[in-house]
Amino acid sequence: MAFQTEFEFNLPKGYVDEHGNLHRNGVMRLATAADEILPLKDPRVQQNPAYLTVILLSRVITKLGDVPAVNTRIIEGLFSADLAYLQNFYQRINETGRPDIKSVCPKCGHEFEMEVAGWGEA
């Protein structure tokens, strides 16, 4: 089994582009040290540390629907529910290397894995 470095996601609400098209499916790759260190030098982060999230996500999201390139403008245009979902997704894949969590059935004790759905997602 190969080491997985890219993970698919499905945004709870989705990014609406300038033409009104909705983009929900995407791919996020694992972060590198440079992904977490280099944005700290960015003047936008130095003025507002919360902007680190925007730059970091723009670096690690490699695909979002049919959007040609994911950049900070795209991340800034996300709904807050989607931003929160992506922050959580980023933490899960970079801490555990998996987008899902392990769970145990309280009745039979069977262990299974499940992907955590975004808000409003079935």
Number of domains in the chain: 1
- Residue 1, domain member (yes or no): no
Question: Which pLDDT score is estimated for 47?
Answer: 96
- Residue 45, domain member (yes or no): yes
Distance CA 81, CA 6 (A): 22
Contact 87, 53 (CB under 8 A): yes
20 token code pair? 């009104």
- Residue 120, domain member (yes or no): no
Confidence of residue 118 (pLDDT cuts 50, 70, 90): very low
- Residue 50, domain member (yes or no): yes
| Domain assignment of residue 92, given as a range | 6-115
- Residue 30, domain member (yes or no): yes
- Residue 96, domain member (yes or no): yes
- Residue 122, domain member (yes or no): no
- Residue 60, domain member (yes or no): yes
Question: Which pLDDT score is estimated for 110?
Answer: 67
Instruction: For residue range 32-87, list pLDDT tens digits in order.
Output: 999 999 999 999 999 999 999 999 999 999 999 999 999 999 999 999 999 999 99
User: The pTM is what?
Assistant: 0.78
